[in-house]
Structure 1
Amino acid sequence: MKLSLSTRSCTWIVTVGVGIWLTSCTKDPSVTPQSPVSGTPAKADQSVNNWILENMQTVYYWNDKIPASPDTTLSPSAFFYSLLYDYTNRANPERDRFSWIQESAADLKASLSGEQKTTGLEVKYFLRSAGSTEVIIKVLYVLPGSPADKAGLKRGDFISTINGQKLTTSNYSSLANDPTTFAYGLAKVEAGKIVDTQTVKTVTAEVFQQNPVLLDSIYIIGAKRIGYLVYNQFIPGPNGSSTPVYDQKLEQIFSEFKARGVNELVLDLRYNPGGYVSSSVKLASMIAKGVDNTKTFYRTEYNKDVMAELQSQNQTAQLTTRFQTKAQNIGGNLSRVFVLITGGTASASELIINGLKPFMPVITIGETTYGKNVGSITISDETGKIKWGMQPIVFKSFNAQNQSDYSTGFTPTIIKSEPLDLKPLGNLEEEYLNAAVAQIVGNGTARISADQGPQLPAIGSSVERRAGGSNMFDDRSPLNR
C-alpha cells in the first residue's frame, strides 16, 4: 500500500510496511557538523539543500522540531545535520543520533545491501594496557571469501601494526581506514599479555558482497536439540538482485531445524547492526510461538502529518506489520529463545527481541544493546539531477503489547563480555554460546564460565560503527530503515 503526500512542489511516496530499513548505520554523533560558511552557497548546493529541507519537512519523524529558519548557506552535509532533532545533545537518549546523508545515493543503497569496499574484517579496538596510547585490534570475524579470508586472517587474530606503523590513539583511525592495501602486523596473547610477532598479512580492500548468514549448527546434548544461527545483517539478497537468496537460506536453515526436531534456539545477533524489516519479519515468523498472519509483529508511528494523511485515507491498518504464516516455524517446539547480544546489536535486531517478547520468553546474553527503536527510509532524487542520498528517521516502532521502551538498549538477562582471546564461533567452549548452552542443559554438562584472560580498555569497534556507535572514528556508519 502506498500513500502519496504532496508538499509544495514535492510529491512524496511513503511505502507503509514495505522496504523499510531498520539498521544502526548512522552519522557518528562525535563528529560536529561543519560551521556555517559565510556568503551565498553554490547554486548546486542551494538546490540540494532545498531538496533536503522539503523532504525532511514532509516525512522526518521529528519534522515539528526542524528549525524554523535553517541556515541554507551550509554545505549539504552540514545543512542536513543542522536539521536533526537535538543531534549534538548526548544527554538526551531520545535525540536523533541515527539519520545520515551521503553524497552518492548509489553508494548508500549498495551499503544497505551489504556491498561495500572492504578487506572483510570486523574488529574491536583496545588500548594495549590501561592508560596506554597504543592500540590493539582484535578480529571479531572474517567474511568468508573476502580478501582478509583469502590472506588467512581469522577470528581471534590481533593486529598491532598497519603498514609498518604501530597503532596509537592518534593514528589508528586513519591507518585502519584510509589505505587500500594493508600490511597487518600480527600479535598474540602470551602469558596474559599482548606480544608482537614477526607475522605480516597483506590484504587489499575490494568491493565485496557479504553473505549475512555466517554460520548455522545443531548440537544434540541429551534430549536437547539446540539450533544455533549466527546472522550478521538483515539483507534479503545481494545488491541489485531481485532474488532474496539470503532470506531463502534462512528458510532452508529453519526447515532443517524443524526436520531435525530442534527444541532450543540460540540466535547470535551480537554483530548484527540491523537491516531490512522484510527480513526481520521472515526470521521472527520462523521463531515465534503460536503466530500466524493475524498476529502483530510490530506497528509504526510516523509524524503527525503522515499519520493524519493515513487516517484521512483510511489506511491506518497499514501501520501494523503482522507475522507471516511460515511452514518452517519451530515455535511449537520452543519454550523460549536465547539471543546473544552486544553494543553492536541494533535496530532490526532489537526489533526481533521486542517483537518476540509478547509471544515467548526472550533470554538475552551478553552486553546492553545499542538502543534503536526508530526506523528510516532511503530518499534519493528520482530525476537523477541530485546525486545525494539520505536516510532520515521517519517512524518509531512498537510491539504487540505497545512497548517501545528500549532507546537506551536492552539490558541482558545474563551479563557477559567477550574475552580478549576468542574461540571460533560455533565452538561449544566459545564464551557466549557456552553461556547459552549452560542455561539449556544445566551446569552438569556445561557451565557459565567467568570472563577469562586480560580485560583491556575497549575504545570501539567496526560493528558499533555500523550500528551508529558514538565513540567511533568514522564520520558515517550505516543505519537501517
Structure 2
Amino acid sequence: MMTKLRKIILIPALILVSISGFFSCGVDRWPEYAHQTALDTWMLDIMQQNYLWYQDLPSYDDVNLFLDPASFLSKVKSKSDSYSFVDSVIETPLPTYGFDYSLVRNPDIDTAYNALITYVIPGSPAEVAGLERGAWIMKVDTSYISKKYETQLLQGTKARDLVMGVWKEVPVEPEEGEEEGEEEFVYKVVPNDITLKLPAAQSVEDNPIHKTKILTVKENNRDIKVGYLMYNSFTAGTNSDPDKYNNELRQISQEFKTAGVKYVILDLRYNSGGSLDCVQLLGTILTSEVRLNKPMAYLEYNDKNRDKDAAINFDSEILKSGVNLDLPALLAITSNTTAGAPEMLIRSLSLKDSYPVVTIGGVTKGQNVATEQFINEEFLWSINPVVCTVYDSNYDAGGAISPATDLKISETTIGGVTNYSEFLPFGDPNERMLKVAIGVIDGTYPPKDEETEETTKTQFKIEKSVISPASRRFNSNGLRLK
C-alpha cells in the first residue's frame, strides 16, 4: 500500500542570476542557466503531479526558479499548507550534551536564570553526568546563567561543571525593618550542594522509544497492570537497520502481553509525527482483537492520482514477532506539538462506545494530511509535499484533538499556580501527566475538592525553551508516506 520511493536527481541551485540574462543579442543562453534552475523546476514538476492542492500552484511563468529550495517552496505552496517541507537527508547528528532545557528567572538575581532540564537523551553526556528531567542548573562552571551567555554556557561543546539546585518550599525572609509575624513560605530554586561533571559534547542517537514501564495500579480496589510507553517519533529504524525501532515496539508488545497489561498509557506529548507504517504497526498492537484486519484509515489523493487511494487496515501480518494487546481503551498524553501521525493513531483507534481513547494534556495541532518524500540519494536532498488527506475508519478527517475540560493539564501548573514539584522524569508515577493518567484509572482524578496552593507567592514562568542540536534528530513533520 505504501507508495514506491521516487529517485529523482536534485541539482542544488548555485547562484542567483537575473532572468533577463537568459537571452543576449538574440542568442538563446538558456543552456548556461539550466543547471541553476533544475532543483526548483524539479520541485514544481513533482508538485504539479502529486501535490494535494496542485490547483493552487502558480504557472512556470509566474515563479522565480533561482530561489533556494525552502524559499521556493514557501512561494509556490498553497496558503493553507503548513506541512510540506524540503530537507537535507544527511543523518549526521551535531555534537551535543544531549539535554533540552527551559529558562526560568532567578528571583534573587535580576539578570540570572535557572535552567530546568526538560529532556535527556539516553546514553548522552548529560545522562552520564547524572542529569534527569526535572533537575535544575543554577550555575555553569562558576557563572550564573544569563540570556547573553546562555548559548556559550549550555549549548557549547567542552566539558562543564554544573552547579545544581532543587525546587522546594522555603521560608520567606522578612524585609529589613519588617516586624516578624506568622511565618510565610514560598517555592523557589535553591542550591543543593551538588555539582555534576558534564562531559564534552558528542554525537548521540536518540531513540523514539524513550521510556517504557509496567505499573501496578488500583482499579475497583483490585491491582491491575498498566503499560507506560513514551514514544517520541513514528520512526521505523535507521539507515543501517530500517526496522530497528519497529522491532523494539514488537518486543515491548510481547513484554506488555506477558505482564498481563490491561491498559496502556501512551505518552505522545513530544511526538510531532512520522511514518504511516509505524502508525499502522502501533495501532495494530494497541487495538482490540475484533478490529484486526479491518479498516483503520483511508488515504485520498488528488484527482490525478485516484489510483493511489487506499484503505489502511489494522493488519495482523505486520505484527511479525509482536502481538496484539486486545485493549479495551487507551490513555494518551498529548500537547500542542502532537501532530500528524499521533493524531492519526488516536483518531483511528477511537471508537466512542467500544474503544474510548482518553486524552490528557494539551490540544493537538490538528493535521489530517500526509506528506510523501521524494528523494535524491546522490545529493541527499528531499522534497516532501502534502499528497493526500487522511480519514479515520468512519471516513472523518477530524481536526485538533482536545482533552476533556478537566483533563486539559499543564505540566507546571497545579491548583492554578506555577509549581514544578511534579515536573519529574518520564515514567515516574508522581510525574504530573502520568499521575493524572493513573488517577483516571484508579478513580482519584479529578479530585472531588481541588486544593489550591496557598504557599506559592511568586509565579516562576518558563521564559524560553531550548532544544539541544541533536535532541530532536527525528524530523517528524506530521505524517509521512514512504
TM-score band by shorter chain is 0.7 to 0.9
Q: Is 368-377 or 134-143 further displaced after alignment? A: 134-143
Q: 1:67 aligns with which of 50, 58, 65?
A: 58
Report the residue type matching 1:259 in the other structure: T
| Cα distance per residue 1:426-475 (max 9 Å; x no partner) | 2222211111111111229999976977754345645799999xxxxx9x
TM-aligned CA distance change 1:72 to 1:232, over 3 Å: same
Q: Is 289-298 or 50-59 further displaced after alignment? A: 289-298
* 1:304 match: secondary structure: coil
TM-aligned CA distance change 1:226 to 1:462, over 3 Å: same
TM-aligned CA distance change 1:45 to 1:299, over 3 Å: same
* Structure 1 contact 297–356 (Cα < 8 Å) conserved: yes
Residue 156 of structure 1: CA displacement?
0.9
Distance 1:139 1:302 in 2: 42
Report the residue type matching 1:405 in the other structure: G
TM-aligned CA distance change 1:61 to 1:206, over 3 Å: farther
Report the counterpart of residue 238 of structure 1 in structure 2.
238
* Structure 1 contact 371–410 (Cα < 8 Å) conserved: no
Residue 155 of structure 1: CA displacement?
0.9
Report the residue type matching 1:205 in the other structure: A
Residue 146 of structure 1: CA displacement?
1.4
* Structure 1 contact 2–13 (Cα < 8 Å) conserved: no
* 2:261 match: secondary structure: coil
Residue 368 of structure 1: CA displacement?
1.4
Distance 1:450 1:477 in 2: 41
Report the counterpart of residue 267 of structure 2 in structure 1.
268
* Structure 1 contact 3–13 (Cα < 8 Å) conserved: no
| Cα distance per residue 1:377-433 (max 9 Å; x no partner) | 222225x3x543222222221100122222x44345611111234222222222111
1:101 pairs with 2:89: no
1:346 pairs with 2:339: yes
Residue 360 of structure 1: CA displacement?
0.8
Residue 362 of structure 1: CA displacement?
0.4
Residue 376 of structure 1: CA displacement?
1.5
Report the counterpart of residue 300 of structure 1 in structure 2.
299
Distance 1:437 1:76 in 2: 46
TM-aligned CA distance change 1:220 to 1:300, over 3 Å: same
Distance 2:452 2:249 in 1: 32
1:151 pairs with 2:141: no
1:380 pairs with 2:365: no
| Cα distance per residue 1:244-285 (max 9 Å; x no partner) | 232222222222222222212211112222222212211111
Report the counterpart of residue 224 of structure 2 in structure 1.
224
Distance 2:404 2:463 in 1: 21
Report the counterpart of residue 281 of structure 1 in structure 2.
280
Cα RMSD of the aligned pairs, angstroms, is: 3.9
Report the counterpart of residue 410 of structure 1 in structure 2.
402
TM-aligned CA distance change 1:256 to 1:417, over 3 Å: same
Report the counterpart of residue 120 of structure 1 in structure 2.
98
TM-aligned CA distance change 1:206 to 1:185, over 3 Å: same
* Structure 1 contact 296–320 (Cα < 8 Å) conserved: yes
Report the counterpart of residue 350 of structure 2 in structure 1.
357
Report the residue type matching 2:98 in the other structure: G
Residue 225 of structure 1: CA displacement?
1.9
Q: Is 408-417 or 251-260 further displaced after alignment? A: 408-417
Distance 1:451 1:38 in 2: 64
Report the counterpart of residue 20 of structure 1 in structure 2.
none
* Structure 1 contact 228–265 (Cα < 8 Å) conserved: yes
Residue 293 of structure 1: CA displacement?
4.6
TM-aligned CA distance change 1:380 to 1:434, over 3 Å: same
Distance 1:182 1:83 in 2: 45
Unaligned runs of 5+ in 2: 9-14, 22-32, 170-186, 413-419
Q: Taking every aligned residue pair, what percent have the same amino acid on both sides?
A: 26
Residue correspondence of structure 1 range 123-202 to structure 2 within 5 A: 123-126=101-104, 136-159=114-137, 164=143, 166-168=145-147, 179-181=156-158, 183=160, 186-191=164-169, 192-195=187-190, 199=195, 201-202=197-198
* Structure 1 contact 435–447 (Cα < 8 Å) conserved: no
Residue correspondence of structure 1 range 249-268 to structure 2 within 5 A: 249-268=248-267
Distance 1:378 1:133 in 2: 45
TM-aligned CA distance change 1:73 to 1:418, over 3 Å: same
* Structure 2 contact 166–192 (Cα < 8 Å) conserved: yes
TM-aligned CA distance change 1:405 to 1:59, over 3 Å: same
Report the residue type matching 2:339 in the other structure: A
* Structure 2 contact 130–196 (Cα < 8 Å) conserved: no
1:441 pairs with 2:442: yes
Q: Is 227-236 or 286-295 further displaced after alignment? A: 286-295
* Structure 1 contact 135–160 (Cα < 8 Å) conserved: yes
* Structure 2 contact 96–470 (Cα < 8 Å) conserved: no
Distance 1:343 1:250 in 2: 25
Residue 346 of structure 1: CA displacement?
2.1
| Cα distance per residue 1:77-101 (max 9 Å; x no partner) | 3112212222xxxxxxxx3222222
1:39 pairs with 2:35: no
Report the residue type matching 1:64 in the other structure: Q
TM-score normalised by length of structure 2: 0.74
* Structure 1 contact 380–388 (Cα < 8 Å) conserved: yes
| Cα distance per residue 1:89-127 (max 9 Å; x no partner) | xxxxxx32222223x33x2xx38xxx6654322344556
Distance 2:34 2:113 in 1: 44
Distance 2:383 2:275 in 1: 16
* 1:259 match: secondary structure: helix
Report the counterpart of residue 415 of structure 2 in structure 1.
none
Report the residue type matching 1:194 in the other structure: V
Q: Is 372-381 or 179-188 further displaced after alignment? A: 179-188
Distance 2:404 2:97 in 1: 31
Aligned length: 415
TM-aligned CA distance change 1:142 to 1:392, over 3 Å: same
* 1:305 match: secondary structure: coil
Report the counterpart of residue 18 of structure 1 in structure 2.
none
Q: Is 274-283 or 151-160 further displaced after alignment? A: 151-160
* 1:96 match: secondary structure: coil
Distance 2:240 2:6 in 1: 23
Report the counterpart of residue 90 of structure 1 in structure 2.
none
Report the residue type matching 2:443 in the other structure: G
* Structure 1 contact 224–441 (Cα < 8 Å) conserved: no
Unaligned runs of 5+ in 1: 5-10, 15-35, 87-94, 469-473
Report the counterpart of residue 330 of structure 1 in structure 2.
325
